[in-house]
Amino acid sequence: MKLNKPFFDIIIIGGGIVGLASAYKIQSKWPYLNLLILEKEAHAGVHQTGHNSGVLHSGVYYKPGSSKALNCRDGLKQMIAFAEENEIPYDICGKIIVATQVSELSQLDDILETGKQNGLKNVRKITAEEIQEIEPYCEGVAGIFVGDSGIIDYQTVAKTLAKKITSINPTSQIRFNQEVISIKESKNGHILKTASALFKTKYMVFCGGLFSDRLAKKQGIKTTDRIVGFRGDYYELTPQAQHKVKHLIYPVPNPQFPFLGVHFTRMINGGIECGPNAVFTFKREGYRRTSFNLKDTYESLSYSGTWRLFFKHWRFGIEEYRRAFSKRKFLRTLQGLIPSLTLNDIQPARSGVRAVLLNEAGDTRTDFKIEFGKDSIHILNAPSPAATASLAIGDRVVEMVEEKFKLQ
């Protein structure tokens, strides 16, 4: 196999929104650098970028001072500016977080305080009557209105980022259908092997999403954490029921379960999605209930952290699986927020898979996590709100490139 020419200053592995935002920020800072983005799929943003709910997150949930909180707020401002500059449709429609039981009120207060500490201005407590003024079909005992939240199509953002990278420097490239098989040190750099070519570079930035842990191991990064995939199934409201949701409607998240819960999301291209649930998937990129991959399954089920997570949350896990195979159970969950919904109001829609980074104790790594290797930066964990925060994450990557790669 011949070495692909030319030599690249930096190779970014992963053509999702975080990889492309990082490449865009690097290229904007150093227009003369010859960059290469390697993506294993046929186009950009296929997996987590293209399968999420398209929410512009406000930062209301995240621990104050955490990377999630800081980058979400910064990233939201940047994403809105980027969308306006590039004529990408978006809508700051706002959302409500609804307590359906009195027992959830104290947690609602905690969420409100967290939002205020994170700098949200347009956030306030609302009464049961105010909930119905905003969302006439939604019922709850109290809620929070979050005015900064919105919707966008992140796959459109990813494709726009890809175009802008090569417009800044036409010698930079984005190569699709190029899955990295191996990484080897060579004289004055590193050689990355794919099925069809070899690419040489001095520096690397890894944004591998669902495969970030495997890419780290290919370069010899020692980490005991492991990515485990969780599929999220969505339903959508049928046309006759879409009038029942005007904004974004979220439940109060269960503090004992590491997911936000089933919610209602207006989509930028039309329609209302309901979901997702969260079930263990036997394939990291498995979007069907029957998807299976032997290597993915073995790696997940042979890992102690997976079983410890299962044991901690087995009641929730069983309920999630029941709901995954029962439209009626899924409906009952939705009726907790909108009681008037019927079976005829919902229909099966798409699914997504989220990368959950677990440690050996079975705890989820909730904040962003970045490791460093030989001439490399590895974004090991970038869960939601990574899409909203992607341009801010790109700025952090630029800072790391300056520090670790000594670029000025």
C-beta of residue 276 within 8 angstroms of C-beta of residue 51: no
pTM summary value: 0.95
Q: Is the dihedral of CA 276, 281, 287, 290 positive or negative?
A: negative
- Domains of the chain with CATH codes: 8-49+155-224+367-405 (3.50.50.60), 95-147 (no CATH), 226-364 (3.30.9)
Distance CA 362, CA 175 (A): 36
Instruction: Write out the chain's pLDDT in tens, 408 residues.
Output: 666 656 999 999 999 999 999 999 999 999 999 999 999 999 998 999 989 889 999 999 999 999 999 999 999 999 999 999 999 999 999 999 999 999 999 999 999 999 999 999 999 999 999 999 999 999 999 999 999 999 999 999 999 999 999 999 999 999 999 999 999 999 889 999 999 999 999 999 999 999 999 999 999 998 899 999 999 999 999 999 999 999 999 999 987 766 778 999 999 999 999 999 999 999 999 999 899 999 999 999 999 999 999 998 888 888 888 888 999 999 999 999 999 999 999 999 999 999 999 999 999 988 999 999 999 999 999 999 999 999 999 999 999 999 999 887
| Residue carrying structure tokens 């199509």 | 153
* Length of the chain in terms of residues written: 408
